[in-house]
Amino acid sequence: MTMDRYIRQIMVPEFGEKGQEALLKAKVLIVGAGAIGGAAILYLAAAGVGKLGIIDGDVVEEHNLQRQIIHAGKVGMNKAESAKLFAEELNPDIEVIAYPFNVTPNNVMELIKEYDIIVLCPDNLATRYLVNDACMLTGTPFIHSAIGGFEGEVMTVTKPPCYRCVFPEAPEQIDQEPIGVMGFTAGFFGCILAAETIKLITGLRTLAGKYLRVDLLSMEFITVNIRPNPECPVCSGKLKGIYPENYDKSCKIVRFE
């Protein structure tokens, strides 16, 4: 391995050789290899994050390719396995592990314990709540993003407040219909995910403690300070572990032991 690949980012004073060394030692799990996750994978792999885990149980479909550009030419392939091939070809220096299945209460704790940071961008709310809970119980930092149309949001969580503090419960209609999204919206927020991840690894200032929402149609950027919710079942310490019987299908917590 040569550092020549990374020389232009090493030249950035706030990053430097120490930043690159930290990236090469880092272990990051991307939950969801779709539109946002795909863009994040592209830049995290290119930057030299030493170990990338990618988990997704879905397969590539033709309508994905308008925004999930890392899967070009791989219709019918599992998304985690497709993303692994892309990342390995882009940067042979790094280790990439594909998990071609979905996150569940049965496997989430085992999965995240192998990683330093979780990039959270699945296509369903239940997974967001589940991974949020597991990360908060284990003290694992995570970066969340979700998008629709021209808009999206980002949170970097290193300690309370967590995702449940801001959004206590999923909507009643958990099985959401697909919504429209612009391809560049996914690319924009995937880049923010990559930026927040790299800053977190290298000790630079992040969005921790803030909620960022961006409308790319109006180009309006809104950043709000967020606080722990005293009623949050996770941050309050009521939830003691991750077990299937603790959750309903929307990952609402129904049991706390």
Per-residue pLDDT, 173: 55
Q: Do 24 and 7 contact (CB within 8 A), yes or no?
A: no
> Phi, psi (5° rounding) for residue 178?
-60, 145
Per-residue pLDDT, 20: 97
Per-residue pLDDT, 253: 82
End-to-end alpha carbon distance in the chain: 48
Angle between the 35-47 and 79-90 helix axes, to the nearest 10 degrees?
30
Quote the CA–CA distance of 158 and 217 in Å, as a whole number: 30
pTM (2 d.p.)? 0.94
Per-residue pLDDT, 186: 96
Could you read off the pLDDT of 165-222 as tens digits, one per residue? 999 987 765 556 678 999 999 999 999 999 999 999 999 999 999 999 999 999 999 9
Q: Do 91 and 41 contact (CB within 8 A), yes or no?
A: no
Per-residue pLDDT of the chain (257 residues; tens, 9 = 90+): 678 899 999 999 999 999 999 999 999 999 999 999 999 999 999 999 999 999 999 999 999 999 999 999 999 999 999 999 999 999 999 999 999 999 999 999 999 999 999 999 999 999 999 999 999 999 999 999 999 999 999 999 999 999 999 999 877 655 566 789 999 999 999 999 999 999 999 999 999 999 999 999 999 999 999 999 999 999 998 888 888 888 887 788 887 76
CB half-sphere exposure, 66, CA atoms < 13 A: 6
Place of tokens 């309508």: 63
